[in-house]
Amino acid sequence: MKACREWEQFIVEYVDGVLDEQPRRSLEIHLASCKACAEAVKVQRWAKLVVAQLERECAPDYLSRRIRHHARDSLRRQGAIRLLARASFATAVAATLLLMLWWGNLRPEKMPVVPVEEPTVAQAIVQEYVGAMSNDGFSDPSLQLLAREAQMKTLRLEPMAQ
Protein backbone atom coordinates (compact mmCIF):
# COMPACT_ATOMS: atom_id res chain seq x y z
CA MET A 1 0.00 0.00 0.00
CA LYS A 2 2.85 2.37 0.84
CA ALA A 3 4.46 1.67 -2.52
CA CYS A 4 1.19 2.61 -4.29
CA ARG A 5 1.13 6.03 -2.61
CA GLU A 6 4.58 6.70 -3.99
CA TRP A 7 3.36 5.91 -7.52
CA GLU A 8 0.17 8.02 -7.33
CA GLN A 9 2.03 11.21 -8.13
CA PHE A 10 3.29 9.74 -11.43
CA ILE A 11 -0.07 8.45 -12.74
CA VAL A 12 -1.30 11.77 -14.20
CA GLU A 13 2.04 12.39 -15.92
CA TYR A 14 1.99 8.81 -17.24
CA VAL A 15 -1.50 9.22 -18.74
CA ASP A 16 -0.54 12.60 -20.25
CA GLY A 17 2.60 11.03 -21.75
CA VAL A 18 5.07 13.44 -20.16
CA LEU A 19 6.71 11.06 -17.69
CA ASP A 20 10.46 10.47 -18.20
CA GLU A 21 11.64 7.12 -19.59
CA GLN A 22 13.03 5.52 -16.41
CA PRO A 23 10.07 6.35 -14.09
CA ARG A 24 7.65 5.31 -16.89
CA ARG A 25 9.20 1.82 -17.15
CA SER A 26 9.19 1.41 -13.37
CA LEU A 27 5.51 2.48 -13.21
CA GLU A 28 4.54 0.04 -15.99
CA ILE A 29 6.22 -2.81 -14.06
CA HIS A 30 4.29 -1.74 -10.94
CA LEU A 31 0.98 -1.49 -12.88
CA ALA A 32 1.39 -5.10 -14.08
CA SER A 33 1.37 -6.32 -10.48
CA CYS A 34 -1.01 -3.79 -8.81
CA LYS A 35 -4.70 -3.81 -9.76
CA ALA A 36 -5.50 -0.67 -7.69
CA CYS A 37 -2.95 1.46 -9.54
CA ALA A 38 -4.02 -0.02 -12.90
CA GLU A 39 -7.61 0.98 -12.04
CA ALA A 40 -6.40 4.50 -11.12
CA VAL A 41 -4.77 4.77 -14.57
CA LYS A 42 -8.06 3.72 -16.23
CA VAL A 43 -9.98 6.36 -14.23
CA GLN A 44 -7.45 9.03 -15.17
CA ARG A 45 -7.69 8.12 -18.88
CA TRP A 46 -11.51 8.23 -18.68
CA ALA A 47 -11.37 11.69 -17.01
CA LYS A 48 -9.01 12.91 -19.73
CA LEU A 49 -11.42 11.72 -22.45
CA VAL A 50 -14.42 13.37 -20.78
CA VAL A 51 -12.59 16.68 -20.50
CA ALA A 52 -11.48 16.47 -24.13
CA GLN A 53 -15.09 15.89 -25.27
CA LEU A 54 -16.31 18.83 -23.22
CA GLU A 55 -13.81 21.12 -24.92
CA ARG A 56 -15.29 20.26 -28.32
CA GLU A 57 -18.83 21.12 -27.27
CA CYS A 58 -19.92 24.59 -28.41
CA ALA A 59 -22.68 26.79 -27.13
CA PRO A 60 -25.67 27.27 -29.44
CA ASP A 61 -25.47 30.29 -31.78
CA TYR A 62 -28.28 32.20 -30.08
CA LEU A 63 -26.54 31.83 -26.70
CA SER A 64 -23.16 32.91 -28.09
CA ARG A 65 -24.75 36.01 -29.69
CA ARG A 66 -26.55 36.85 -26.46
CA ILE A 67 -23.38 36.51 -24.39
CA ARG A 68 -21.35 38.65 -26.83
CA HIS A 69 -24.10 41.30 -26.91
CA HIS A 70 -24.29 41.39 -23.12
CA ALA A 71 -20.48 41.62 -22.81
CA ARG A 72 -20.35 44.44 -25.38
CA ASP A 73 -23.07 46.40 -23.53
CA SER A 74 -21.31 45.81 -20.23
CA LEU A 75 -18.03 47.17 -21.62
CA ARG A 76 -19.82 50.25 -22.98
CA ARG A 77 -21.44 50.92 -19.59
CA GLN A 78 -18.11 50.50 -17.82
CA GLY A 79 -16.46 52.92 -20.25
CA ALA A 80 -19.22 55.48 -19.74
CA ILE A 81 -18.99 55.12 -15.96
CA ARG A 82 -15.20 55.58 -16.06
CA LEU A 83 -15.57 58.65 -18.28
CA LEU A 84 -18.21 60.10 -15.97
CA ALA A 85 -16.03 59.46 -12.90
CA ARG A 86 -13.01 61.13 -14.53
CA ALA A 87 -15.10 64.09 -15.68
CA SER A 88 -16.67 64.58 -12.24
CA PHE A 89 -13.28 64.40 -10.55
CA ALA A 90 -11.83 66.97 -12.96
CA THR A 91 -14.87 69.21 -12.45
CA ALA A 92 -14.54 69.00 -8.67
CA VAL A 93 -10.83 69.89 -8.83
CA ALA A 94 -11.51 72.84 -11.15
CA ALA A 95 -14.36 74.09 -8.94
CA THR A 96 -12.15 73.85 -5.86
CA LEU A 97 -9.37 75.83 -7.53
CA LEU A 98 -11.80 78.51 -8.72
CA LEU A 99 -13.32 78.77 -5.26
CA MET A 100 -9.87 79.16 -3.71
CA LEU A 101 -8.97 81.94 -6.18
CA TRP A 102 -12.32 83.67 -5.69
CA TRP A 103 -12.13 83.45 -1.91
CA GLY A 104 -8.55 84.74 -1.90
CA ASN A 105 -9.46 87.80 -4.01
CA LEU A 106 -12.60 88.71 -2.08
CA ARG A 107 -11.22 88.44 1.41
CA PRO A 108 -10.59 91.83 2.98
CA GLU A 109 -7.05 92.68 3.92
CA LYS A 110 -6.15 91.86 7.45
CA MET A 111 -6.16 94.97 9.56
CA PRO A 112 -4.33 95.00 12.87
CA VAL A 113 -6.83 94.95 15.67
CA VAL A 114 -6.05 97.16 18.63
CA PRO A 115 -7.73 95.83 21.72
CA VAL A 116 -9.91 98.36 23.48
CA GLU A 117 -9.26 98.30 27.16
CA GLU A 118 -11.98 98.93 29.63
CA PRO A 119 -10.81 101.37 32.27
CA THR A 120 -10.11 99.56 35.49
CA VAL A 121 -11.42 100.79 38.79
CA ALA A 122 -7.99 102.25 39.60
CA GLN A 123 -7.90 104.13 36.31
CA ALA A 124 -11.38 105.50 36.88
CA ILE A 125 -10.41 106.75 40.37
CA VAL A 126 -7.24 108.40 39.05
CA GLN A 127 -9.13 110.03 36.19
CA GLU A 128 -11.71 111.34 38.60
CA TYR A 129 -9.11 112.91 40.92
CA VAL A 130 -6.76 114.11 38.16
CA GLY A 131 -9.62 115.95 36.54
CA ALA A 132 -10.87 117.45 39.81
CA MET A 133 -7.67 118.68 41.52
CA SER A 134 -3.93 118.68 41.27
CA ASN A 135 -1.81 115.74 42.42
CA ASP A 136 -0.49 117.74 45.38
CA GLY A 137 -3.84 117.61 47.17
CA PHE A 138 -3.99 113.81 47.58
CA SER A 139 -3.92 112.82 51.21
CA ASP A 140 -4.34 109.07 50.66
CA PRO A 141 -0.94 107.43 49.84
CA SER A 142 -2.53 104.86 47.52
CA LEU A 143 -4.18 107.62 45.49
CA GLN A 144 -0.84 109.45 45.33
CA LEU A 145 0.76 106.26 43.97
CA LEU A 146 -1.96 105.89 41.35
CA ALA A 147 -1.53 109.52 40.36
CA ARG A 148 2.23 109.05 40.01
CA GLU A 149 1.71 106.00 37.80
CA ALA A 150 -0.71 107.98 35.69
CA GLN A 151 1.86 110.71 35.24
CA MET A 152 4.54 108.16 34.30
CA LYS A 153 2.10 106.83 31.69
CA THR A 154 2.22 103.28 32.92
CA LEU A 155 -1.55 103.33 32.91
CA ARG A 156 -3.34 104.33 29.76
CA LEU A 157 -5.48 107.21 30.81
CA GLU A 158 -7.79 108.89 28.44
CA PRO A 159 -10.31 111.46 29.50
CA MET A 160 -13.70 109.95 30.15
CA ALA A 161 -16.53 111.31 28.07
CA GLN A 162 -19.13 112.90 30.31
pLDDT per position as a tens digit, 40-62: 999 999 988 888 777 666 778 88
Q: How far is CA 8 from CA 14, 29, 45, in A?
A: 10, 14, 14
The more confident residue out of 41 and 122 is: 41
Instruction: Identify whether 47 is part of a domain.
Output: yes
Looking at the fold, whether 10 and 48 belong to one and the same domain comes out as: yes
Looking at the fold, whether 15 and 39 belong to one and the same domain comes out as: yes
Q: For all residues of the chain together, what is the average pLDDT?
A: 75
Looking at the fold, whether 52 and 64 belong to one and the same domain comes out as: no
Q: Which residues of 66-79 are buried (b: 16+ CB within 10 A; e: fewer)?
A: eeeeeeeeeeeeee
Q: Tell me the mean pLDDT in the region 131-138.
A: 55
By residue range, what is the domain housing residue 52? 2-56
Query: pLDDT for 62-116, tens place per residue?
Result: 888 888 888 888 877 777 777 777 888 888 888 888 888 777 766 666 666 656 5
Instruction: Identify whether 160 is part of a domain.
Output: no
What is the pLDDT at residue 39?
A: 92
